[in-house]
Chain A
Amino acid sequence: MMRVARRVGLAVVAAALLAGCGSESSTQQSLAGLIGGTLKQGVDARRAGRPAKVVVTPKMLAETKVAALQVNPEIAGGSDFLQRVATRDDSVPGRVEIWKSSDNALVFLRNGVVVGTRGVGGDIISADAALTVRALANRASASGVREYILSDGDVTTTRMQFRCTVTVAERGSVTVVNQRFNATRMQEACIGGPTGDLRIDNEYWVEDSTGLVRKSRQWVGLKSGYFELILLKS
């Protein structure tokens, strides 16, 4: 996932975004181009090293008519732009949004907190993020246990528990492209995992007026490391 947009012309990215909510045939047309690009980029990337992040311009943002999430994977590099394809209200607090990448991988966000991935590799099958969701909603510190169920890469899973502390780091503002939001920066520090010493450090910018996580840096499993998530348009 997500290496796709790295060197594809920005126009193509915008076209994929503008393809709209679920007109599947048109999504596929742009996908075909993107996939062809992906292979080539794979080769280029190996030659050129890690791909660079895409910087979104105000013009691109203005042209975007649908909900869009920029994802910058730290290990793999590059950027991708995800579309929201579904929302779920289940029995657990918080609303889940399902975001789809240009190469059909999925990221599940519960009120902005990553609770699942699909098709990324070493996926988060499910996660209990109640502690974080509550802390972000209240913009208040909290501590407790978080749990991830991670794919081992052979259709089995490992359950990982972490002791986590969420703290309020800064009350200020965050800028997304040319938009500025009054927001609270929250930090989450976790320790645990199979050997007891795996550390996770997540960071969230929560908009004060709406409670939306505008920007975050979150752990998405052992294979993928951290993703930077930027909510371009909600």
Chain B
Amino acid sequence: MPGREQKMIRRAVHRTTRILAIGTTVASPSFLAAQDADAVFRTPDRPSLNFYGAAGLIDMPSGEAMPDGQFTVGVSSFGGQTRTTLTFQAMPRISASFRYSGIDGLDIDGRDTYRDRSFDVRFLVNREGRYLPSVTVGLQDFAGTGIYAGEFVAATKNFSGGRLPGNLKATVGVGWGRFGSSGSIGTPFGEDRPSFDSSTRGGELSTDQWFRGQMAPFAGLEWQLNDKWGLKAEYSSDAYDAEQADGVFDRDSRFNFGAEYQVSDSIRVGGYYLYGSEIGVNLAMQLNPKRPASALRIAAPRPYDVRPARRVDPQAYNGDWAASQSGASTAVRDALVPLLEAEGLVLVETKTTASTTEVRYTNERYGATTVSVGRVARAMARVLPASVETFRIVPVVDNLAQSAIVLRRSDLEALETHPNASDALLAVAGIDSAAPNLPGGAHNEDLFPAFNWSLGPFIEQSYFDPDEPVRVDGGIRLNLSYQPAPGWTVAGEVRHRLFGNVGDTDRESDSVLPRVRTNAPLYARGSDTMLRRLYVNRQWKPAPDYYARMTAGYLEKMYGGASAEVLWKPATSRLAFGVEANYVKQRDFDQRFGFQDYTVATGHASAYYEFDNGFIGQLDVGRYLAGDTGATVTLEREFDNGWKVGGFFTLTDVSSDDFGEGSFDKGITLTIPVEWFVGRSDRRKFGTTIRPVLRDGGARLSVPNRLYDQVRSGHRNSLVGNWSGVWE
């Protein structure tokens, strides 16, 4: 019965009675996914990992690159040496690794176990072809204190078919540094390679040693017998000089052998016999952000009826129902509220004329904004009278209208079943900046005041203490928030620590700067019950392309004070600018209401740019917590499904001597949407930042509710990435 629901609004307007809730139960479909349908997406030539957690043989690298976007975690151990490595194939040809290693018995800093962090980069020079091998140039531990420093050029070629079952892979290469320490054949690029010096602070690029000194060849074979089993053999060019000198293990041979087993699509384990004396193990996990751990299944949208053709039913197109704009808007609001609610969406306000309806809503369910846009569009198509041809759909995040997605209803009706439904709709959709408010609209009066609370566990980690590489605190947290009016939030979090050892370290800060971050252990043992945050936040849009925020209170674990931010970000622009100014005072170690004496005015001017292929660059210039001035450069790659992997570094006027270990602040960031794991609609994200060393130079305030990330999910670049969600 076409138009049955649409007529309801007409009736509602005429009778000015409330429309009965149109019941909408969304059942979760019960169709189970096939067990192994993903096989098509498998990457047969995905390389296996070596003991350094990067594509390679056993202890030697290979000439291969991972599939684009691949994210791997490798844990290996042999001869008292344990290496844990994260590797990310940031671009088809460029990968980067971060490694944390421990060497039992290497006497460098007076401890039983020498621990170090290292970074690698690799560049794929040539992709494997019919005749030519894949060739990679790599820099290992290129910027740290350099225990694993080594450079290499490696070539790898696959052979399969013929009488040999499975696939055989041959690798040859030459290496310098660690990879040139055994079986050297000369020093083609100079002899003047400085030796490993653990007393340096690290962090600086060791350009003076790259490809210098002794060069040695290495080689190996990998025979993948079938889908599960693989065998490896290699000739290593690593003499393990430092380890031999301290008796870490006995290197009796240059040959290594191993067998590997593919446990699942992502996990591979291996056992090895290394250097004629040691048994080793390697555990490798490979994920690809583009392939969700469990496929998201979104409940199907409810179908709507297309309008009758105007020539068939001209009366249906009569716009009289909207003669009173406020009456019509109210009726539309009342019709849409339950429909959106059934989809996990909250109508904020709506305004209609006979031809155009704007709906402002908040998405509380779907990770991708486009899915919510599609649901709103369908709900509108179900209930709005036929004369409404233009849908303006405005996603709102806490009083910030992100953008206006403008759809013609005829396009929506005509393209849902079109062979190219997504691209065709995108081509005719408008995405524009949204006005701050909707004057004359019908508000959802049930929204304010709003009170929310949640109780749950918390985990807080501290990494890379030489005495205890991973320290963890855990307990329960209570979050409360109260929203008296649009854009106003009073929020707080109380934590109670139940267990943990973050504060147990006896390492005192040796910082010569104001101790703005290195007092972390003092905060950790300050008290068990703490007020993590308590603040008042107000955010609003001063103009269509501008966003503003003011926050005051206990902003984070270590600081309280006031913060203000303004962001310029047109909905269709890749570029954004922001300014943030804060005046904060250091909190007491017990994290209750008191403050210490240290105060600082800190703030930044920021520029953001969305490059192609999901890369987002950010430059922040300003004054940091210790009063130092400088800039932070951040580069992240964001996948369409919300996975984000990135890195940052900060250079300030603090000298590397004053900064201390690491020379400057740097780290890597990782964000994974919960949806990616659980396969159900969920807006939460798991995020972490890993810093090799946390020092006082280049430290930033951690203010809640920074604007850029709040705003961007509804802007053009993000919407286009998963536009197909409009139809899902």
Contacts and interface: CB of A to CB of B under 8 A. Distances in A.
Interface of A: 1-4, 21-22, 24-25, 28, 31-32, 34-35, 38, 41-42, 73, 75-76, 85-86, 88, 90-92, 96, 98, 100-101, 103-106, 108, 110, 115-116, 118-123, 125-130, 147, 149, 151-157, 193-195, 198, 221-225
Contacts of B26: 104
Interface of B: 1, 4, 22-23, 25-35, 37-38, 40-41, 290-292, 294-306, 367-368, 370-371, 413-422, 640-641, 675-676, 679, 721-722, 724-725, 727-728
Nearest to B299: A119
B300 A104 contact: yes
B39 to A, nearest CB: 8
B419 A127 contact: yes
B303 A98 contact: yes
B418 A104 contact: no
14 contacts: A22-B4, A24-B22, A25-B23, A41-B30, A86-B304, A88-B416, A98-B417, A104-B26, A104-B27, A126-B420, A126-B727, A153-B292, A153-B295, A154-B722
B295 A152 contact: yes
Nearest to B640: A156
A173 to B, nearest CB: 31
A221 to B, nearest CB: 8
Given A151-B728, A155-B722, A121 B419 contact: no
B727 A1 contact: no
B420 A128 contact: yes
B298 to A, nearest CB: 7
A225 B371 contact: no
Nearest to B292: A154
B418 A91 contact: yes
B599 to A, nearest CB: 45
Contact of B418 (A28, A121, A126, A152): A126
Residue in A38, A76, A90 whose Cβ sees the most chain B Cβ within 10 Å? A90
A155 B675 CA distance: 10
Contacts of B419: 92, 115, 126-130, 147
Contact of A155 (B34, B299, B640): B640
Contact of A92 (B296, B418, B676, B679): B418
A76 B34 CA distance: 7
Contact of A156 (B4, B38, B40, B722): B722
Contacts of A103: 27-31
Contacts of A42: 30, 32
Tell me the dominant secondary structure on chain B's binding face.
Answer: loop
A193 B39 CA distance: 12
A118 B421 CA distance: 13
A103 B26 CA distance: 8
Given A86-B304, A119-B299, A105 B29 contact: yes
Contacts, number: 186
Contacts of A194: 40-41
Contact of B728 (A24, A108, A125, A129): A125
B33 A121 contact: yes
A34 B25 CA distance: 13
A58 B72 CA distance: 58
Contact of A157 (B1, B415, B422): B422
A172 to B, nearest CB: 31
Nearest to B30: A38
Given A125-B727, A155-B367, 14 more contacts: A21-B1, A28-B23, A92-B417, A104-B26, A105-B29, A122-B295, A125-B728, A126-B420, A154-B296, A154-B640, A156-B721, A157-B724, A223-B295, A225-B37
Contacts of A125: 421-422, 724, 727-728
Given A121-B295, A153-B296, A155-B724, A223 B34 contact: yes
B31 A1 contact: yes
A120 B722 CA distance: 18
A221 B41 CA distance: 13
Nearest to B424: A126
B29 A121 contact: yes
B29 A156 contact: no
A126 B727 CA distance: 9
Contacts of A41: 30
B301 A224 contact: no
B422 A198 contact: no
Contacts of B303: 85-86, 98, 100, 106
A187 to B, nearest CB: 22
A121 B371 contact: no
Given A1-B29, A76-B32, A149-B724, A104 B420 contact: no
Contacts of B641: 154-156
B677 to A, nearest CB: 11
B289 to A, nearest CB: 9
B724 A120 contact: no
A4 B40 contact: no
Nearest to A24: B23
A32 B26 CA distance: 11
A227 B629 CA distance: 64
Residue in A4, A92, A110, A153 whose Cβ sees the most chain B Cβ within 10 Å? A153
Contacts of A119: 29, 297-301
Residue in B26, B28, B297 whose Cβ sees the most chain A Cβ within 10 Å? B297
9 closest Cβ pairs, A-B complex: A153-B295, A119-B300, A128-B419, A154-B641, A1-B31, A118-B300, A126-B421, A155-B722, A155-B368
B553 to A, nearest CB: 36
B642 to A, nearest CB: 8
B299 A104 contact: yes
A126 B413 CA distance: 14
Contacts of B32: 3, 42, 76
Given A98-B303, A224-B34, A154 B417 contact: no
Given A76-B32, A149-B420, A154-B676, A118 B728 contact: yes
Nearest to B676: A154
A22 B367 CA distance: 30
A130 B255 CA distance: 61
A122 B33 CA distance: 8
Contacts of B727: 118, 125-126
Contacts of A4: 30
Nearest to A130: B419
Contacts of A34: 27
Contact of A116 (B27, B304, B417, B721): B417
Nearest to B643: A154
Given A100-B303, A104-B299, A119-B297, A76 B40 contact: no
Given A86-B303, A128-B419, A120 B29 contact: yes
A225 B34 contact: yes
A103 B420 CA distance: 26
Nearest to A1: B31
B418 to A, nearest CB: 6
A100 B27 CA distance: 12
A40 to B, nearest CB: 11
Nearest to B422: A125
Residue in B27, B38, B676 whose Cβ sees the most chain A Cβ within 10 Å? B27
Given A92-B419, A154-B295, A123 B40 contact: no
Contacts of B290: 152, 154, 156
A109 B12 CA distance: 35
A215 to B, nearest CB: 21
Contacts of A193: 40
A13 B366 CA distance: 32
A53 to B, nearest CB: 15
Contacts of B368: 155
B200 to A, nearest CB: 44
B95 to A, nearest CB: 22
A1 B30 CA distance: 5
Contacts of A86: 303-306
